[in-house]
Structure 1
């Protein structure tokens, strides 16, 4: 009996909501979370309506939205303290205003990871022996770049080499990470803004994900508004800025900077170099490799080619010198080399996508016309120009002479302008892709010059640089996403 009385006492002590405590507001009774910035007595929109019904309100105190936004009443959605504007400087400026926006495309160098300077990687090969070639790269050694290269004072450098920045992608993710984007925006905020501008706004979107399980961003496009003041720094100088270069080294990315204009998204002519661009080899080196006597001929020709691409030698004279070394080769050697040519990864789908977009293509090669014309036909390229060598009509062998004007750096620029004029295409809608110093003039004449896995001088001079395993990444510079590229190349 006592137990029954105790249980009844407990049941009576249980809290309950009486009719007097109830209200007509469901939110007021059941809401479990209240934003901290709202007053204690505010529970939701229904309570606001209930309070308004009981209180006299002057009609002039309520501003009814009639569907016409204005500068005084911009269209906004305010939720939990965040303001989501329906118009934004990175989307469209206000009527009558003009915004100079900058597009930055960040490519992560997934195929060329950089090891830390402070802690040598155990996977690296042993230190080079004194008998090895002096061209042995320091990056292939376990010796950090800041360590003395010799124990002899006679060969000691006057100044120690500058320390490379630490690879931050090792810490924050081997991809274009949020910290990488934050670091880049912080870098851009250090440049002066145009007069009258007080805030730097930005927007970003991922263009390409990796194929791994986590699907990390590999190519990200950022829109920065406004662009740094042109009075302080031109776009050409901004691309070469030391802070941009250091950022690329820190995060293992390539940064392509372009003005956000109409022509950026609509190229109409793309011009390619051939050797080490459309194909992975240098044709003249392939020709020299077929000559066995003297045995060092291939190495001599390859050395001249390398120095010419670096810009250490004048291309025209270097080309004549190399062709002279090929005297006596059979004229049908170009036909025999066709199966040997290795087309660069991504070239075929890239050209297929450009054709579907209605873009004209051309190859301007400092190599040999027989192979260039054949490759252009195989790939569906509209224009092909290269050098013609003299073949003796009696012996059928190369004489070591070149017909007409050599397709060097000046001639490449002239041909690019001629093709653009013939097609009625402004130079702003022309893109030139190359890797050597002989491509710099045509890249400068085009609206966009792209250095593809290029020599150091070309990397610094070009409008944009892409270092990767597929030239198909060129389409990301035009703003195409990976899904759109797959649709174009299907």
Structure 2
């Protein structure tokens, strides 16, 4: 009889038993189980690895952590998919090693939006000149990259370069992550000091856009870069003026302030201000000239001299004497009458309050007139005030058109800054000078930090840092304070 066919025995389906359940995977790999997962939870790896005689995946080799991290094997924390490696690029250096960090503070210029080069040139110019940059571009029939002349004699020697396309309207009207990434890429193109292999960075958002309270749109960001670019290749003074930095600022509509990360950066002890167009929004000598009606063009003539002197086109001392001569015959009481007219710059009062609470001395060094400068210093609580004195005829009580003593110009401002610092026993590294005109450049150079406040082009280029916002309170961000800390200082 033929053999009956063998019926294959059906194997039992694998199933979980209590013997299979263990925490061997976690124990072998010594990983931390977050408290959000209950103890009776077992991942799919536990089930698969414990199948009988089944080798689903190759064995994993993991070195046991013995509590002694090393540069080759730094400790790594793994929690819910987040891997954080402990490194020390911005920490306290080893004994005998000095830090070489660069601080870059990025200010988004929301009050002065950039205009795209792609704006078409209209066929007809508008009869009224607008004040906004975008409107001015729309009112012009000259392409943004073309020199406004057809005369060969006045045409520039080189054609104007194309302005970079503004990117903030693509990536956000703030200091966006793409903006920070572009800046870090830019800095990585500069050579590092000998012995350094890579550029490390960290950032802090110092100020958020107040128009979006529920969202994080930073308008001031502080970047710490370690190490700074090689000083023998590109000193910090030259790095600030580098063409790539300037182009980056134009592309992203930001101001970049570069400083070495030193102790004095965070602890200033003396802040010196210019007065006209800095502590106040006007030029006092222009206000005086505006009161003279005969000749009718006097105010315009004085304003033109003032503008050219601030631009650095005229020597300040001679320009000041010339303007004072034009004021001959004005009543001496006019200084008292101008007090209510003075318009204090936005942010000055809370800034001075914050500096006072920090124990910082303040001074105003003005190329204007001492009666108004002294009065304003007393009103604002400023410790020192220096300005020009003019002669007043005792008989008529009117200005004679002559200046008394030395004119407080560029050299005198630098001397006064040093004298005040020496009197207060303050090193120049802890002195900050803020101004807007060419006659402020020498005192800004003498100070540890010179800040150009909505300044003339030459001053913007020469100053250590630039602020082009709508409040002078932004000065505190250069010292490393954030929005919350500034709020506490001015409360």
TM-score range, shorter chain: 0.7 to 0.9
Please report how far the alpha carbon of residue 129 of structure 1 lies from its aligned counterpart in structure 2 after TM superposition. 9.1
Tell me how far apart the structure 2 counterparts of residues 373 and 477 of structure 1 sit (CA, whole Å): 28
Q: Is the 8 A contact 1:118 1:144 kept in 2?
A: no
Please report how far the alpha carbon of residue 87 of structure 1 lies from its aligned counterpart in structure 2 after TM superposition. 4.3
1:185–1:106: structure 2 CA closer, same or farther, 3 Å change rule? same
Q: Is the 8 A contact 2:121 2:143 kept in 1?
A: no
Partner of 2:240: 239
Identify the range of structure 1 (273-282 vs 98-107) with the bigger mean alpha-carbon deviation: 98-107
Partner of 1:146: 145
Secondary structure of 2:294's counterpart equals coil
Secondary structure of 1:194's counterpart equals coil
Q: Is the 8 A contact 1:89 1:99 kept in 2?
A: no
Secondary structure of 2:279's counterpart equals coil
Cα deviations by residue, 1:413-444 (Å, 9 ceiling, x for unpaired): 00000000000000000000000000000000
1:125–1:16: structure 2 CA closer, same or farther, 3 Å change rule? farther
Indicate the RMSD between aligned Cα atoms, in angstroms: 3.0
Tell me how far apart the structure 1 counterparts of residues 124 and 294 of structure 2 sit (CA, whole Å): 34
Is 1:19 the equivalent of 2:17?
yes
Secondary structure of 1:277's counterpart equals helix
Partner of 1:259: 260
Identify the range of structure 1 (91-100 vs 206-215) with the bigger mean alpha-carbon deviation: 91-100
1:192–1:285: structure 2 CA closer, same or farther, 3 Å change rule? same
Partner of 1:116: 116
Secondary structure of 2:353's counterpart equals helix
1:468–1:129: structure 2 CA closer, same or farther, 3 Å change rule? closer
Q: Is the 8 A contact 1:320 1:402 kept in 2?
A: yes
1:356–1:148: structure 2 CA closer, same or farther, 3 Å change rule? closer
Partner of 1:458: 459
Tell me how far apart the structure 2 counterparts of residues 18 and 246 of structure 1 sit (CA, whole Å): 65
Please report how far the alpha carbon of residue 75 of structure 1 lies from its aligned counterpart in structure 2 after TM superposition. 4.5
Please report how far the alpha carbon of residue 115 of structure 1 lies from its aligned counterpart in structure 2 after TM superposition. 1.1
Secondary structure of 1:165's counterpart equals coil
Partner of 1:64: 66
Q: Is the 8 A contact 1:278 1:344 kept in 2?
A: yes
Partner of 1:56: none
Partner of 2:417: 416
Please report how far the alpha carbon of residue 207 of structure 1 lies from its aligned counterpart in structure 2 after TM superposition. 0.1
Count of residue correspondences? 449
Please report how far the alpha carbon of residue 18 of structure 1 lies from its aligned counterpart in structure 2 after TM superposition. 4.9
Partner of 1:283: 284
Partner of 1:182: 181
Please report how far the alpha carbon of residue 231 of structure 1 lies from its aligned counterpart in structure 2 after TM superposition. 0.8
Please report how far the alpha carbon of residue 163 of structure 1 lies from its aligned counterpart in structure 2 after TM superposition. 1.4
Q: Is the 8 A contact 2:190 2:229 kept in 1?
A: yes
Partner of 2:479: 478
1:484–1:227: structure 2 CA closer, same or farther, 3 Å change rule? same
Tell me how far apart the structure 1 counterparts of residues 244 and 436 of structure 2 sit (CA, whole Å): 24
Tell me how far apart the structure 1 counterparts of residues 137 and 304 of structure 2 sit (CA, whole Å): 20
Partner of 1:342: 343
1:303–1:444: structure 2 CA closer, same or farther, 3 Å change rule? same
Tell me how far apart the structure 1 counterparts of residues 470 and 429 of structure 2 sit (CA, whole Å): 27
Tell me how far apart the structure 2 counterparts of residues 207 and 285 of structure 1 sit (CA, whole Å): 37
Partner of 2:162: 163
Q: How does 1:433-448 map to 2 (within 5 A)?
A: 433-448=434-449
Q: Is the 8 A contact 2:121 2:140 kept in 1?
A: no
Partner of 2:205: 206
Please report how far the alpha carbon of residue 69 of structure 1 lies from its aligned counterpart in structure 2 after TM superposition. 5.4
Q: How does 1:19-38 map to 2 (within 5 A)?
A: 19=17, 22-25=20-23, 30-31=41-42
Tell me how far apart the structure 1 counterparts of residues 203 and 79 of structure 2 sit (CA, whole Å): 22
Tell me how far apart the structure 1 counterparts of residues 480 and 386 of structure 2 sit (CA, whole Å): 30
Secondary structure of 2:278's counterpart equals coil
Tell me how far apart the structure 1 counterparts of residues 435 and 139 of structure 2 sit (CA, whole Å): 26
Please report how far the alpha carbon of residue 99 of structure 1 lies from its aligned counterpart in structure 2 after TM superposition. 2.9
Unaligned runs of 5+ in 2: 1-12, 27-39, 52-58, 130-134
Cα deviations by residue, 1:429-465 (Å, 9 ceiling, x for unpaired): 0000000000000000000000000000000000000
